[in-house]
Amino acid sequence: MCGIAGLFSKSLEVSDGLGGHLGEMLLQLSDRGPDSAGVAFYRDPAPAGSSKLSLFGPPGCAWDALAREVGAGEPELRGSHAVLVVDMQAEAAEAWVRERHPELRVMSAGQAIEIYKEAGPPREFVERFGLRELQGSHALGHTRMATESRVTTEHSHPFSTGLDLCLVHNGSLSNHNRLRRRLRREGIEFQTDNDSEVAAGYLTWRMREGASLERALEGCLEDLDGFYTFAVGTAEGFAVLRDPIACKPAVMAETDDWVAMASEYRAIAVLPGAEEATVWEPEPGRVYSWERARVA
Amino acid sequence: MTEVDLAVTSLRDLNAALHGPDPAPRWRVANPRGAHALAAGIDAPVEVEVDGHVGYYCAGMNKQATVRVHGNAGTGVAENMMSGTVVVEGNASQSAGATAHGGLLVIHGDASARCGISMKGADIVVHGSVGHMSAFMAQKGRLVVCGDAGDALGDSIYEARLYVRGEAAGLGADCVEKEMRDEHRDELRELLERAGVEGAEPSQFRRYGSARRLYNFHVDHAGEY
């Protein structure tokens, strides 16, 4: 099963309450994914020349010492994760952590993205990570019912798909082992044996080769064997794609204040003004995307 | 009129009341907010009006009741309906009327993929269009589409009859266009009337059904369907 949710704010009120709204959406999707939960928030962009890392560390991790070591400001702690803003480019910062601190996992890197995820019921996740305090321009979320691989924090969604990019997935892929081998030969790194991480790696590879997000997603229709509804977050917005057979559900809705997507309407019903929203089911095999510049 | 607000009353309490030995004849339900299995499993000649969007399997297994949704319906509305009438005033998601044995399902908007999948005798009338693989393995009953049909219409169809006014993007395995005879125009006229479709004439529709080449069909048994 799994549940996915995306919320894109078009008003200050919704941006201020983004974490609360997404948290409510995740709670509605708990039945679809009781094993783990995760979110990607786009908020407080790091200044030019700096970048932002979301890190997952073992209990008792010395985040302050790490921040001093890398010359970052005070780390923002949230559950088992910490967000650091560092004075270097995102790729360099990510490489530095991987080399110097192999005990840490880089969950995301970029200017605006923050990823938080953890094994356990969505309700606990929402509380432990203080989701309701978070503001931002847009966010994606996921509740997982594991099928293809183990239940751990690393196997939870969202998966980072490159700088400021992430993916959440409802479905399962059949050709992920072969595709992972092919992508590894192209230099794409994987941290788990999860099928959705392969979809994320595939998008990273296609965009590294010059494809736009839309083109990369269209490539999924050819190269991924399986069923899926994907939501992909970017610095400017998010995109949605369903497999051509449409095995997995998706519903979208829009008001003057927000655009939302979710596995089920009940996750949209909790948003302000949902009764008056335009609601539709995205067509299979078609890429839908929203970007800040386009709706402004 | 028995009024139930699902912001106050639990869905389980509502369904239990509808399943009771002598349910009230008329119901109005507020704040469905996408709840699943709303008004499912009714077996009584009651009328239920739902104000808002419903989730999965609304009015599933319906017997005798009339359920009207003033909004959209999620996956599997009226699935396995036995009798009665279900009306969706908005759009319906996938698998509307799946495996339904009897009764009438009317969708005022569009229905997405697999509308009428494996239908077994129900009548389904969609004022708008239906998605791909509609009437997949449909065994019996009538599916009327006033708009267009998606790809692979009627794939592996048995003896259901399909009427489409617009374009079918493609026909599934063993599904073929068939001649519209007077008996078909008559039953179509009656279905359009019962479903409140205005401005559509039976002459605008094409009929599709089974070529009877795929499944183990013996023409001696045709009268049994």
pLDDT tens for A155-167 read 899 999 789 999 9
Q: Predicted ipTM?
A: 0.88
Chain B residues near residue A249 by CB distance under 8 angstroms: 74-75, 93-94
Asked if residue B55 has pLDDT above 50, the reply is: yes
d(CA B147, CA B124): 13
Any idea where the domains of chain B sit in the sequence?
A: 1-102, 110-225
Asked if residue B218 has pLDDT above 70, the reply is: no
| Residue A131, min C-alpha distance to chain B (Å) | 23
Q: Structure pTM?
A: 0.92
pLDDT in tens, A30-59: 999 999 999 999 999 999 999 999 999 999
Burial class (CB in 10 A: 0-12, 13-18, 19+), A196: buried
Enumerate residue ranges in chain A where pLDDT < 50: 294-296
CATH topology of domain A3-45+112-295: Glutamine Phosphoribosylpyrophosphate, subunit 1, domain 1 (3.60.20)
| Residue A212, min C-alpha distance to chain B (Å) | 28
Query: 3-state class of B43 per DSSP?
Result: strand
Question: CATH assignment of A47-110?
Answer: 3.30.70
pLDDT band at B2 (very low <50, low <70, confident <90, very high): very high
The label of the residue with tokens 């044996």 reads: A193
What pLDDT, on a 0 to 100 scale, did the predictor assign at position B51?
98
What is the distance of C-alpha B1 from the center of its chain? 26
> Is the CB of A266 less than 8 angstroms away from the CB of B33?
yes
What pLDDT, on a 0 to 100 scale, did the predictor assign at position B216?
65
Please give the single-letter amino acid code of residue B21: P
Any idea where the domains of chain A sit in the sequence?
A: 3-45+112-295, 47-110
Active site residues of A: 2
> Is the CB of A246 less than 8 angstroms away from the CB of B72?
no
Burial class (CB in 10 A: 0-12, 13-18, 19+), A258: buried
d(CA B94, CA B130): 9
For residues A150 and A77, is the Cβ–Cβ distance under 8 A? Answer: no
> Is the CB of A269 less than 8 angstroms away from the CB of B33?
yes
d(CA B4, CA B136): 37
Pick from A264, A283, A284: CB nearest B74: A264
What pLDDT, on a 0 to 100 scale, did the predictor assign at position A294?
46
